[in-house]
A and B are shown apart, each in its own frame.
Chain A
Amino acid sequence: MLCGVVGSGNLEILLNAGDLPNQCVVEIKTAARGFADTWQAVIGAFAAAHPAGGTRIAINDMGATPAVVSLRLAQALAEYQGGVQ
């Protein structure tokens, strides 16, 4: 099973193959409340800028900033795609 895993003190991202080639399914577990809009924007920007179709992403967040999340998503995708190649 191909996947990209990146982790740090406040964030874990697991990126796997998804079911639909034109969809990226993201599940976020986070302790912080009230940041749904921010998550929406961060994930949306990631999906718009990267070829993330056909993936499923699980995010375990313990208070990471959008800067860290964006960086880790890009890294996880790169790892996953590296594995694919």
Chain B
Amino acid sequence: MNAPLPRQWDSLRQNRGRRLERAASLGLAGKNGKEIPVDRIIDLLEAVIQPGDRVCLEGNNQKQADFLSESLADCSPERINHLSMVQSVLALPSHVDLFERGLANRLDFSFSGPQGARLAKLVQEQRIEIGAIHTYLELFGRYFMDLTPNVALIAAQAADAEGNLYLGPNTEDTPAIVEATAFKGGIVIAQVNERLEKLPRVDVPADWVDFTVLAPKPNYIEPLFTRDPAQITEVQVLMAMMAIKGIYAEYGVTRLNHGIGFDTAAIELLLPTYAAELGLKGKICTHWALNPHPTLIPAIESGFVESVHCFGSEVGMDGYISARSDIFFTGADGSMRSNRAFSQTAGLYACDMFIGSTLQMDLAGNSSTATLGRITGFGGAPNMGSDPHGRRHASPAWLKAGREAAGPNAIRGRKLVVQMVETFREHMAPVFVEELDAWQLQKMMGAELPPIMIYGDDVSHIVTEEGIANLLLCRSPEEREQAIRGVAGFTPVGMARDKAMVENLRDRGIIRRAEDLGIDPRMATRDLLAARSVKDLVRWSGGLYAPPSRFRNW
């Protein structure tokens, strides 16, 4: 019998050693622990990154390792090329420059909002290979399976002399990224905003960090979750009233997540007023998996909210958060620690409801924000908006929904997944369509599947200005189709409804109009909002909320 060929079992460790040696031979690191002078960053990146590497560049929803991103994009494509990028969000121009300049050619990601059009163009020009669009938790999961980064470029608030890192309120994705990279022989490089003798707290131990560089300016943070109450419309107030009375109150929703948008901001601002009048304080909206929306301040101050765990922080909210440590997750140092991976987990298993908006919906209830000309992905929505079959613990809302779906002998509950949307978007584009753009986008991308954000199977309710459709109670695809047409308003899809069937669905409570919920649409005015401007929010916070300059309009 032949002996098996000898195999090296520590090649990752050896490879890591060679990368660090290359850096050391250029005089990088060793002197001040892990500190790299800012003008040597290109030398460092070109020394420790190899062609074909899998690189995680920290582009989160909010926090961006922008100095490292721009520096990487400035590296020589002769020395660094064929990179596979894995990152949550493509937010910055430099994220896409990497591909245009020939440094990277493959991408696995979750969301690309601002860069969606550029991404679509690169796909059409065949200059990028998209591995897959993921939801955040799914991508993090793959960091520990088949998408483990060789190099992670992250952003931290501060480093101490040893190289311990303080991430601050915008902890976000960093713990997940660093854990996967540091424990599979990878290299971790952090840009920091300041060097401190003593950190407020240690978020990443120095053992897990290889290099730190003091960035020329503080890392960019996108104020993604701030919504100016002045822009909330009366139609959004009407839909918010229907959602609160017809769903939140009906099911007793205490644990939830709001997808970001003006529709959900309206709900947040109706809690201290409309919901309080309905006697709902303490009965709904007590526990949240949510970014620190400024529009939640009035509900917190009014005593609706017991706890909020955040995916990341929000510009201007850090002071308010620190002063409300009963509500938010804060360290002994007083500042918040957010964590996208755990918030997404809480959203999946520990929330009884997700509610958010969308751009398109078809007659099976499939919902997508994917539109032609842009490749944006969906961020956390596919996770938040999914019904977790792994869940085992019961709650009144989950049981009620499960029994509506499968009868009194249902063996499991159902998460409430609500899509709230006006029937027409801007330029009179109908939201309700016979076929989603996602199918055309699939062809254009050469993808295996159409990019659908939330599957119709998981959607439990649809809220439009015309009413609420309860899909859980539908007993056939035809009923589901008519339930959707029955709230699709004056869109072509809505106008093609079978009027008799829709009336029958209304009789059975599957469709409920505002009147059926005891809501007079004329009561839906902006006066019901607890705060009508950003200035109002500041006042509610006792001056603790410090809005970023673009929202300071007084």
The residue that A66 contacts in the complex, of B427, B489, B521, B522, with Cβ under 8 A, is B489
Judged by a CB distance under 8 angstroms, whether B234 is at the interface is: yes
Within 8 A of A (CB), among B418-469: 422-424, 427-428, 464-466
Interface segment out of the listed A12-20, A21-29, A70-78: A70-78
**Contact across chains for A74 and B424 when beta carbons are under 8 A apart:** no
Residues of B contacting A38 in the complex (Cβ-Cβ under 8 angstroms): 428, 490
The answer to whether B423 and A65 have CB atoms under 8 Å apart is yes
B234 and A71 within 8 A (CB): yes
Cα-based distance from A23 to B522 in the complex (angstroms): 23
Say yes or no for A42: interface residue by CB 8 A criterion: yes
Provide the residues of chain B in CB contact with A71, threshold 8 Å.
234-235, 238, 465, 521-522, 524
Contacts of B233 in A (CB 8 A): 68
Residues in A with CB closer than 8 Å to B464 are 67
User: Taking the complex as formed, is B38 at the interface, i.e. its CB lies under 8 A from any CB of chain A?
Assistant: no
**Does B495 lie at the interface of the complex (its beta carbon under 8 Å from any beta carbon of A)?**
yes
Q: How far is the CA of A71 from the CA of B239 in the complex (A)?
A: 12
A27 to B428, CA, bound (A): 20
A41 contacts the other chain (CB 8 A): yes
> Are the C-beta atoms of A78 and B522 separated by less than 8 Å?
yes
Chain A 45-85: CB-based contact to B (< 8 A → 1; otherwise 0): 10000000000000000010111101100110010000000
Q: Which of B59-94 contact A (CB under 8 A)?
A: none
Q: Does A36 contact B (CB under 8 A)?
A: no
For B490, give the chain A residue with the smallest CB separation: A66
Given A38-B490, A41-B490, also A65-B521 (CB < 8 A) = no
Q: Which of B422, B489, B495 has the most CB of A within 10 A?
A: B489
Complex alpha-carbon distance, A49 and B258, angstroms: 33
Interface size on B, residues (CB 8 A): 18
Please tell me if the beta carbons of A41 and B235 are within 8 angstroms of each other in the complex. no
Partner of B422, one of A35, A41, A45, A65: A65
Q: Give the complex CA separation of A42 and B466 in angstroms.
A: 12
Residues in B neighbouring A1, C-beta threshold 8 A = none
User: Is A32 a contact partner of B495 (Cβ separation < 8 A)?
Assistant: no
A32/B428 in contact, CB under 8 A: yes
Residues on B with beta carbons closer than 8 Å to the beta carbon of A42: 490
Take A38-B490, A41-B490 as given contacts and tell me if A67 and B424 are in contact as well, using a CB distance cutoff of 8 Å: yes
Q: Mark B470-509, 1 if CB is under 8 A from A, else 0.
A: 0000000000000000000110000100000000000000
Residues of B within 8 A of A68 (CB): 233-235
Q: Min CB distance, B236 to chain A, in Å?
A: 10
| Residues of B with C-beta under 8 A to A66 | 423-424, 489-490
Which chain A residues lie closer than 8 Å to B490 at the CB level?
A: 38, 41-42, 45, 66
Do the beta carbons of B522 and A75 come within 8 Å of each other?
yes
Cβ-closest chain B residue relative to A68:
B235
A29 to B: closest C-beta gap in Å: 16
Which of the residues B422, B495, B522 comes within 8 Å of A67, measured between beta carbons? Answer: B422
The reply to whether A74 and B522 form a contact with Cβ atoms under 8 Å apart is yes
Most buried by A among B427, B464, B495, B521: B521
A66-B430 Cα distance, complex, nearest whole Å? 11
- Docked complex Cα distance between A23 and B428 (Å): 29
Least Cβ–Cβ distance between B421 and chain A, in angstroms: 10
Expressed in whole angstroms, the Cα–Cα distance for A38 and B494 within the complex equals: 11
A residues in contact with B466, CB < 8 Å: 67
**CA distance in complex: A56, B524 (Å):** 24
**Among A32, A63, A66, A70, which residue has the most Cβ atoms of chain B within 10 A?**
A66
Minimum Cβ distance to chain B for residue A59 (Å): 15
Chain B residue with the shortest CB-CB distance to A75: B522
Return A70 CB to nearest CB of chain B, in Å. 7
- Give Cα A38 to B238, complex, Å: 21
Residues of A within 8 A of B489 (CB): 66-67
Residues of A within 8 A of B422 (CB): 65, 67
In the complex, A78 Cα to B525 Cα: how many Å? 14
**For the complex, what is the distance from the CA of A35 to the CA of B428, rounded to whole Å?**
9
Q: How far is the CA of A78 from the CA of B464 in the complex (A)?
A: 22
**Sample of 14 A–B contacts (CB below 8 Å):** A35-B428, A38-B490, A65-B235, A66-B489, A67-B235, A67-B423, A67-B464, A68-B234, A70-B465, A70-B521, A71-B235, A71-B465, A71-B524, A74-B522
Return the 10 tightest CB-CB contacts between A and B, nearest first. A67-B465, A65-B424, A66-B490, A67-B235, A78-B522, A41-B490, A67-B422, A75-B522, A38-B490, A74-B522
Give 14 A-B pairs besides A38-B490, A74-B522 with Cβ atoms closer than 8 angstroms: A8-B234, A41-B490, A63-B427, A63-B428, A66-B490, A67-B422, A67-B423, A67-B424, A67-B489, A70-B465, A71-B521, A71-B524, A75-B522, A78-B522
